[in-house]
């Protein structure tokens, strides 16, 4: 199995960056909620084992089970409604299998694998109406199940992953232009409609989150979390207040941020590590995404390239959304910061995906020139 592997191409820089970012997350989690720090350490150890194992498994072999992944994704997402815990904070996203497990996190990785195979099979006819309709149908089933939980942010991230993979495989620029031309005014119309009193497009709490983002002073009961988060990030100044500090003016210490160890972990990092620590987190995320794109550039085939593109989009775009929410650039929505937020499902599954990326790198070809 290893005869095609070039172990000199093992991306040590990517591995170090992933582990370094996770360790920073562990320290910040310990400061935000010490009770969960040990669990996150266990998650990192398990994640490293999973990553190392997947790095040695030929991704060509993995892709042979594409339809199994697709069926498993839909079954997992459906099980949330049949066996899931909740609702928690208005959502039903977890099932208990001895450990609390969030199917949508694993679904993102498995859908990357499925669509890497699917788009590779249809590389030459990706712009044909029949294939585009089939793509829309195959995408719609898991996306509808995720949004039904409801989990709008994960739906958007998953949809973005699929769209970027389609673009890379050869989606027509003309079609992309048409989609953007329709999407931008549609988004503006959507914001206008949901900002009206008595709107029924979104659930009440979702509509309030958007209104709290647009008009925080008029919706203090829905905007306090995000406004306190912005205050926390700004109060860290250049060097921060220090991990585990006892400062009386700390937003985190005053319990002004709900669940600071999960979706709003970046606010704690901003307050306690300051501007320099916040920039370091962003720099590591950016470096990880670029390293994965460089592996995509050297991939031996389109399937390997698409796996890497999907993972880079997941890590980059999800991080972008999380940080935008924490800093008030987007409406409040619950989505973890990759490698940093507390959550064993999120951490182990993303290590799983990085392991497959490393395997793509082990079978890469030498190439010079542009990124793609």
- Alpha-carbon 11 to chain mean position: 21
Structure tokens at 282: 């962003």
Average pLDDT for 104-110: 94
| Confidence tier at 369 by pLDDT (50, 70, 90) | very low
Average pLDDT, the chain: 87
pLDDT of residue 65: 97
Of 341, 362, 355, 342, the C-alpha closest to 109 is: 355
| Confidence tier at 370 by pLDDT (50, 70, 90) | very low
| Confidence tier at 101 by pLDDT (50, 70, 90) | confident
Average pLDDT for 88-104: 72
Average pLDDT for 145-169: 91
Q: Is the peptide bond before 150 cis (omega within 30 degrees of 0)?
A: yes
| Range from 238-242, 251-255, 256-260 that averages highest in pLDDT | 238-242
Q: Which residue has the tokens 């709490």?
A: 205
pLDDT of residue 158: 95
Q: Looking at 99-113, 277-291, 349-363, which range is the least confident one?
A: 99-113
Q: Looking at 77-86, 112-121, 210-219, 355-364, which range is the least confident one?
A: 210-219
Q: What is the DSSP string of 67-133?
A: HHHHHHHHHHHHHHHHH-B--BTTB--BEESSSEE-HHHHHHHHHHHHHHHHHHHTGGGTTSHHHHH
Q: 152 vs 18, 108, 166, 280, CA distance in Å?
A: 27, 14, 21, 28
Dist CA 249 CA 257 (whole Å): 13
How do residues 21-51 score in pLDDT, each as one tens digit? 999 999 999 998 888 999 999 999 999 999 9
pLDDT higher than 70, residue 89? no
pLDDT higher than 70, residue 60? yes
Q: Looking at 97-106, 131-140, 189-198, 267-276, which range is the least confident one?
A: 189-198
| Confidence tier at 152 by pLDDT (50, 70, 90) | confident
Structure tokens at 295: 């592996």
How do residues 263-295 score in pLDDT, each as one tens digit? 899 999 999 999 999 999 999 999 999 999 999
pLDDT of residue 201: 64
How do residues 204-252 score in pLDDT, each as one tens digit? 666 667 777 777 777 777 677 888 889 889 888 999 998 888 877 788 8
pTM of the model: 0.90
Q: Looking at 40-49, 82-91, 115-124, 324-333, which range is the least confident one?
A: 82-91
């Amino acid at each position: 199995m290893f005869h095609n592997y070039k172990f000199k191409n093992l991306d040590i820089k990517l591995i170090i960056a992933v582990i370094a970012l996770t360790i920073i997350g562990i320290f910040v989690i310990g400061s935000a909620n010490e009770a969960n720090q040990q669990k996150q350490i266990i998650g990192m150890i398990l994640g490293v084992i999973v990553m190392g194992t997947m790095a040695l498994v030929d991704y060509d072999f993995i892709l042979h089970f594409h339809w199994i992944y697709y069926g498993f994704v839909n079954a997992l997402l459906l099980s949330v409604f049949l066996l899931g815990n909740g609702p928690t904070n208005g959502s039903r996203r977890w099932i208990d299998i001895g450990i609390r497990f969030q199917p949508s996190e694993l679904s993102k990785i498995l859908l990357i694998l499925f669509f890497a195979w699917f788009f590779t099979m249809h590389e030459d006819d990706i712009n044909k109406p029949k294939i585009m309709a089939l793509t829309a149908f195959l995408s719609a089933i898991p996306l509808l199940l995720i949004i039904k939980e409801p989990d709008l942010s994960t739906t958007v991230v998953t949809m973005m992953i699929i769209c970027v993979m389609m673009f890379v495989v050869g989606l027509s620029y003309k079609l992309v232009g048409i989609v953007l031309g329709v999407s931008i005014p549609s988004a503006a119309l959507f914001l206008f409609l949901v900002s009206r009193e008595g709107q029924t497009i979104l659930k009440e709490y979702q509509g309030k989150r958007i209104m709290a983002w647009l008009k925080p002073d008029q919706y203090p009961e829905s905007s306090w979390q995000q406004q306190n988060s912005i205050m926390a990030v700004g109060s860290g100044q250049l060097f921060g207040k220090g991990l585990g500090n006892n400062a009386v003016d700390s937003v985190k210490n005053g319990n002004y941020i709900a669940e600071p160890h999960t979706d709003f972990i970046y606010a704690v990092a901003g307050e306690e590590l300051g501007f320099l620590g916040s920039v370091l987190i962003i720099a590591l995320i950016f470096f990880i995404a670029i390293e994965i794109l460089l592996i995509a550039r050297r991939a031996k085939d389109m399937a390997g390239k698409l796996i890497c593109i999907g993972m880079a989009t997941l890590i980059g775009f999800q991080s972008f959304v999380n940080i935008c929410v924490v800093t008030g650039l987007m409406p409040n929505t619950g989505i973890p910061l990759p490698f940093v937020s507390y959550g064993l499902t999120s951490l182990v599954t993303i290590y799983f995906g990085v392991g497959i990326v490393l395997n793509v790198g082990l079978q890469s070809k030498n190439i010079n020139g542009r990124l793609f």
